[in-house]
Structure 1
């Protein structure tokens, strides 16, 4: 069994593009509400929006296809526009759902962009999924072909007779409760759907389709907090989980403050700190060009030990400079194979953790990319969104500019790309 861990890593250069299908065409009659359950509010946001954002915050997810009832499509478009940025909405595709879950997911599968090779399916009413579980499922699909999140059954299970008396007690040793995400490689979905259609088979979830097709499905240990909101009581449980999470975050911040005060007796720590970062990489053939976590179509890519995301590297160096904590090479040396080909947003995530542990957060950053080609203007908004999401700030707090060098020097000759970053940190 695979377990999600804090350092679960999906490397960009070895990971086919991934997408997620979110079926949201049902009404949810068991909620006893006139509003579909996925549109009910949880912590100030509709349940479905929380679910969608959980996947948009994962750089590995390139597309989110939502299956929605035809008569609620307009409402869905309005909802997405009200809660998502333009950059986030660019990854969203709406598909018209069917009468059953299987029909809705199949419609969404048909709408998934052709370049997406790993596909997850996640219930729209499971808004508390963690990034760790998403990455663990992706990693298991890469290694095993198909995966399902599930948790072991701890309660004693009774099988009843027709008269509702106990017939026998079921051995729970190998019993698990299915959750989502569930998913597989695109070719596995195609095979499973073909066999299901031929046999007239309807499954209750995606893993049952894979099972029917004779495809082994690996289990990823799920999470108790990853509940499906089906009844009114589930909504109360979800609100309680969010409240507990908020309490723990506030407690952690208080502990950091007390630690800093103990270690700086009688001293007034700086409220603001400024850092500058710079990085440059050579352009070569047969490499992906990735800037600010965004893959850009071009004939060449940047050469480096990681994914060579020069913009993210400059931001990391700017943050480390403001902290007085060395540079990117000190923390992530190119002699360490664990960082070979790694998505640089993962490195930024680690540096943001260090920043917060030190008692600071990013206030704003001003970044400049020096690049003769390709044109980067169409991609700047997504870059801002990617970096801001990892830093935990609004995209308005990160500015990115792109400029050429008027064909002067190694950048002007198209031999490489460079980036500068100026970063302001503020005390938590």
Structure 2
């Protein structure tokens, strides 16, 4: 199969959106917009790899958005989108290039598999092809706030992405267009004399530009995820010798450690079981048997990522998680925000979809006597159906 790389352009700042961060890092129904876009291409059978172009000033948000995905090091973008695309193409060329490249906006997270396949297929007969939608509305040319003329909409199309090209041709075209201000990659190709086919796409492949667009995209995603499920989890570990405990992915200083086959993170263990329970997919022990020596001392983030991956494989999202730590000591309060942030990072969801809290048993029972720590968790997921 000819190699086909999806080049995701995510270097913009999203000033028109007006958020505190670039729009590609905002939450869309439980996942960052960028992650949804990347996953759409990663799971497509005709796409052999994904390369993302970013503004390094937002590298921490990028890392959180794509945590756990199999991606190469991101490419640094340029001053304009055209510069960013060229940087991405040059990075691919430095690694030996590819047969075909699909250039796609990070802020178009609702791209469907059929459109991707149609753009790729069109490249069998032409050096370029773009997803596009025929103009259906009557068009008016305005002057000083009034209608100056009606524009013939016949043969007019609204360009979308992905815009696909045979790699050597589009690389050469971008190199020759450096310094020019062209509106999209098809315009770069046209300037170089390359034929570009129009591939009918779908209206849902719109670009998230305003808060209203994000609301529309959220409705579109949730409308496909009607199977809402809830799972619970519970875990206990006794104290042993040591000077820290691992709770919800963080090392917390303490007079004792926790005994367990892995890192004994009761919070992540309970949450992993909650997600597996919502999927009716067994428990943590059936996926990571304590009798298996490879899991001795393992980071429990591995277990939680696995559970989240199973949700993603089903085409679902993790809507919310709630973890309660039960102990007398150590105090969880000072670490709650960092714990929630760590869980959100592992799961690839927004921090406001993660709750971490703590309670005691008023000195009753084994936790009250300071013999160990318990945790319980609830996870809500949404699956197609």
Aligned to 1:139: 121
Mapped to 1, the partners of 2:11 and 2:315 lie a distance apart of 32
Give the CA deviation at 1:114.
Answer: 1.6
- 2:166 is aligned with 1:185: yes
Mapped to 2, the partners of 1:164 and 1:119 lie a distance apart of 42
Q: Which secondary structure state, in structure 2, belongs to the residue aligned with residue 143 of structure 1? A: coil
Mapped to 1, the partners of 2:55 and 2:24 lie a distance apart of 12
TM-score for both structures, normalised by structure 2: 0.58
Mapped to 1, the partners of 2:313 and 2:48 lie a distance apart of 19
Q: Contact 1:362 / 1:393 at 8 angstroms: preserved in 2? A: no
Normalized per residue, the structure richer in helix is 1
Question: 1:52-63, aligned counterparts within 5 Å?
Answer: 52-63=38-49
Offset from partner CA, 1:141-170 (integer Å, 9 cap, x none): 122221000001111100112x22211101
CA 1:131/1:27 → structure 2, altered by over 3 Å: closer, same or farther? same
Aligned to 1:229: 208
* Structure 2 gaps, min length 5: 229-278, 288-305, 317-384
Give the CA deviation at 1:136.
Answer: 0.9
- 2:79 is aligned with 1:99: yes
Offset from partner CA, 1:11-61 (integer Å, 9 cap, x none): xxxx31000111111111111111210011011000000000000101322
Q: Contact 1:65 / 1:111 at 8 angstroms: preserved in 2? A: no
Q: Contact 2:25 / 2:62 at 8 angstroms: preserved in 1? A: no
Question: 1:19-34, aligned counterparts within 5 Å?
Answer: 19-34=5-20
Offset from partner CA, 1:103-133 (integer Å, 9 cap, x none): 1111111112324210011100000111111
Give the CA deviation at 1:137.
Answer: 0.8
TM-score for both structures, normalised by structure 1: 0.52
Correspondence for 1:66 among 52, 72, 78 = 52
- 2:168 is aligned with 1:172: no
Count residues with an aligned counterpart: 243
Mapped to 2, the partners of 1:57 and 1:121 lie a distance apart of 16
Aligned to 1:392: 314
Q: Which secondary structure state, in structure 2, belongs to the residue aligned with residue 99 of structure 1? A: coil
Give the CA deviation at 1:389.
Answer: 9.7
CA 1:389/1:240 → structure 2, altered by over 3 Å: closer, same or farther? closer
Question: 1:173-252, aligned counterparts within 5 Å?
Answer: 173-197=154-178, 200-247=179-226
Q: Contact 1:17 / 1:115 at 8 angstroms: preserved in 2? A: no
Aligned to 1:43: 29
Quote the RMSD (CA, aligned, Å).
2.9
Give the CA deviation at 1:390.
Answer: 10
* Structure 1 gaps, min length 5: 1-14, 251-360, 367-383, 395-427
CA 1:143/1:93 → structure 2, altered by over 3 Å: closer, same or farther? farther
